[in-house]
């Protein structure tokens, strides 16, 4: 007879355990995380359906009920907006898909929390059945008693109280941190529950995987080109990395083109993801608040590091909700080395 898995902890019970660490907690934060896990289950269900529909080519713009099929990123955005903030615990939501911050009704709660999210990351991959995801970050409003304005959303990653991502891959996984380690849960579709599968994730200090869209190489700065040359051919003799596979031998490349998926693989296996500035996109492509900062919070809680090439992503105070930022994120030693290479390259100009 098949034995049940030893660990059957649901994400809800894990989040409740977290609440017990804070005896004065009101339960609003617990409720918010539960709202997010619920929203991600709804999105997961739709992602699975959309993949099948596209593969079988049974529908164009209409689903089987004759309703218009929304683009999945719009759908995911609507799910998040409907599921979060209904209990009045969220005073501001910021979405990659919505130009301005949203102010939900807080009459039923304290409005303590600010949530910024990328409802569907890597959405260009959805039609070809490649993993996509969701990214979110949770901040607290600065002044508990004051009303909030649009500027209250502009907080650095260092102030995050929790962050996470969902990956709709070969299985659906929910990974989050609220400052007490990084924990991963896998959705068991037969019971509709996220079960603890990856407790206290630690990312390797050094890695042998780099992830970057190398088609942009002609548009990179000389420093970034040199970083990639050494990642590929091995670091030069001044490298402090004596025992890593990259010493004297190049790393290997993996690039899916869905940030969440590339990040997740590198978090578990070790690796460094790069989205450098280009001639046209001098701030890179990725968004600070809904992509870079939440993943930086996760990676730092797992022992890694994230930088814009000059400083920790977590130390950047945004000036706009949709601000973009260059991103180097993953194994700590590799990202620190990239920062050093960029600084040396720039100072020699
Ligand atoms: P989104 O789908 O939320 O707009 O994000 C897409 C991002 C990210 O997921 C991915 O890593 C990156 O775009 C890929 O960009 P390139 O096609 O320029 O490599
Ligand atoms: Mn994205
Ligand atoms: Mn998106």
pLDDT tens, per residue, the chain with 349 residues: 667 666 689 999 998 888 778 777 788 899 999 999 999 999 999 888 876 655 333 334 433 334 333 478 888 999 999 999 888 999 999 999 899 999 999 999 999 999 999 999 988 788 788 899 999 999 999 887 778 888 899 999 999 999 999 999 999 999 999 999 999 999 999 999 999 999 999 999 999 999 999 999 999 999 999 999 999 998 764 555 454 444 556 899 999 999 999 999 999 999 999 999 999 999 999 999 999 999 999 999 999 999 999 999 999 999 999 999 999 999 999 999 999 999 998 887 6
Q: Do 176 and 104 share a structural domain? A: yes
Choose the final residue of a domain: 198, 219, 249. Answer: 198
- What are the tokens at 159? 């102030």
Confirm whether 2 is domain-assigned. no
Q: 258 in ligand 1 pocket by Cβ < 6 Å?
A: yes
Query: Of 198, 220, 243, which one is at a domain's C-terminal end?
Result: 198
**SS3 label, residue 314:** helix
Residue 306 within any structural domain of the chain: yes
Query: Same structural domain for residues 65 and 131?
Result: yes
pLDDT of residue 244: 47
Cβ(211) to ligand 1 under 6 A?
Answer: no
**Ligand 1: centre distance to CA 39 (Å):** 22
151 shares a domain with 249: no
Does 122 share its domain with 259?
A: no
Cite the beta strand spans of the chain per DSSP E: 90-95, 113-121, 132-140, 162-168, 172-177, 182-188, 193-198, 209-211, 252-253, 272-275, 305-307, 327-330
Helix, strand, coil proportions of the chain in percent (round to 5)?
A: 35, 20, 40
Among residues 321, 40, 22, the alpha carbon closest in space to that of 169 is found at 40
The residue whose CA has the least distance to atom 7 of ligand 1 is 122
User: Which pLDDT score, from 0 to 100, does residue 5 have?
Assistant: 62
Six token digits for residue 29 = 């934060």
* 225/157 same-domain check: no
Residue at 203 is within a domain: no
Say whether both 50 and 182 belong to one domain: yes
Residues 300 and 176 in one domain: no
In a domain, 265, yes or no: yes
74 touches 91 (CB < 8 A): no
Q: Which residue has the tokens 């260059």?
A: 326
CA of 126 to the centre of ligand 3 (A): 11
Q: Are residues 246 and 303 in the same domain?
A: yes
* Domains: count for the chain: 2
DSSP readout, 241-271? Answer: --SSTTBSS--EE---S-HHHHHHHHHHH--
Residue ranges near ligand 3 (ion) with Cβ within 5 Å: 96, 118, 120-121
Torsion of CA 106, 108, 110, 112, to 10 degrees: -50
User: 314 and 347 in contact (C-beta within 8 Å)?
Assistant: no
pLDDT of residue 56: 31
Containing domain of residue 107, as a range? 11-198
Cα–Cα distance, 94 to 27 (Å, whole number): 22
Assigned token pair, 103: 């102010």
Residues 114, 76 share a domain: yes
CATH code for the domain in which residue 267 is found? 3.40.190.80
Query: Considering only CA atoms, which of 82, 158, 96 is closest in space to residue 133?
Result: 96
Query: Considering the domain boundaries, does residue 170 fall inside one?
Result: yes
Residue nearest to atom 17 of ligand 1 (CA): 257
Distance (Å, rounded) from C-alpha 251 to C-alpha 143?
47
Q: Is the torsion defined by CA of 176, 180, 181, 187 positive or negative?
A: negative
- Answer yes or no: is 307 within a domain: yes
Q: How far is CA 127 from CA 100, 198, 262, 285, 301, in A?
A: 28, 29, 18, 21, 33
Measured between alpha carbons, how far is 201 from 175 in angstroms, rounded to an integer?
9
Give the atom of ligand 1 at the shortest distance from the alpha carbon of 123.
Answer: 2
State which ligand 1 atom lies nearest to the alpha carbon of 273: 11
Q: Tell the residue nearest (CA) to atom 2 of ligand 1.
A: 122
Q: How many alpha carbons lie under 13 Å from residue 286 in its C-beta half-sphere?
A: 33
**Residue-wise burial string across 211-222, b where 16 or more C-beta atoms lie within 10 A, e elsewhere:** bbeeebeeebbe
Residue 5 lies in a domain: no
Q: Are 30 and 177 found together in one domain?
A: yes
Instruction: Tell me if 291 CB under 6 Å of ligand 1.
Output: no
Kindly report the CATH number assigned to the domain that includes residue 31. Answer: 3.30.540.10
CA of 73 to the centre of ligand 3 (A): 6
Same structural domain for residues 156 and 293? no
> Is 285 within 8 Å of 279 (Cβ atoms)?
no
Ligand 1 atom with the smallest distance to the CA of 121 is 3
Query: Ligand 2 centroid to 251 CA: how many Å?
Result: 26
> What is the distance between the alpha carbons of residues 10 and 298, in angstroms, rounded to a whole number?
20
Q: Is residue 4 part of a domain?
A: no
Ligand 1: nearest atom to the Cα of 125: 2
Choosing from 179, 198, 217, the residue where a domain stops is: 198
Distance set, CA 30 to CA 13, 18, 22, 36, 77 (Å): 10, 8, 11, 10, 21
Whether ligand 1 lies within 6 angstroms of the CB of 121 is answered as: yes
Same domain, 62 and 104: yes
Residue 34 CA to residue 5 CA, distance in Å, equals 23
Q: How far is the CA of 85 from the centre of ligand 3 (A)?
A: 20
């Amino acid at each position: 007879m098949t034995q049940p898995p030893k660990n059957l902890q649901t994400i809800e019970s894990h989040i409740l355990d977290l609440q017990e660490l804070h005896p004065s907690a009101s339960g609003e934060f617990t409720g918010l995380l539960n709202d997010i896990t619920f929203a991600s289950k709804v999105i997961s269900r739709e992602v699975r359906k959309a993949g099948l529909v596209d593969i079988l080519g049974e529908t164009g713009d209409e689903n089987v009920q004759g309703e218009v099929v929304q683009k999945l990123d719009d759908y995911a955005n609507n799910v998040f907006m409907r599921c979060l903030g209904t209990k009045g615990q969220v005073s501001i939501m910021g979405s990659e898909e919505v130009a301005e911050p949203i102010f939900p009704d807080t009459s039923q709660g304290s409005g303590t929390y600010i949530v910024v999210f990328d409802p569907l990351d890597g959405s260009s991959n959805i039609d070809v059945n490649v993993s996509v995801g969701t990214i979110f970050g949770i901040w607290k409003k600065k002044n508990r008693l004051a009303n909030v304005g649009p500027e209250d959303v502009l907080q650095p990653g260092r102030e995050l109280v929790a962050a996470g991502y969902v990956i709709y891959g070969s299985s659906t996984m929910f990974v989050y941190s609220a400052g007490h380690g990084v924990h991963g849960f896998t959705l068991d579709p037969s019971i509709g529950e996220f079960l603890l599968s990856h407790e206290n994730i630690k990312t390797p200090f050094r890695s042998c995987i780099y992830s970057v869209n190398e088609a942009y190489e002609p548009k990179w700065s000389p420093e970034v080109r040199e970083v990639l040359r050494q990642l590929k051919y091995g670091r030069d003799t001044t490298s402090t990395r004596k025992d890593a596979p990259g010493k004297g031998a190049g790393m290997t490349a993996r690039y899916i083109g869905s940030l969440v998926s590339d990040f997740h693989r590198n978090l578990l296996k070790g690796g460094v993801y790069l989205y450098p500035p280009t001639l046209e996109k001098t701030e890179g492509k990725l968004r600070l608040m809904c992509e870079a900062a939440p993943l930086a919070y996760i990676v730092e809680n797992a022992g890694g590091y994230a930088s814009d090439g000059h400083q920790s992503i977590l130390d950047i105070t945004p000036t706009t909700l949709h601000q973009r930022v260059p991103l180097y994120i993953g194994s700590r030693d590799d990202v620190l080395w990239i920062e050093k290479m960029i600084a040396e390259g720039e100072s020699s100009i």
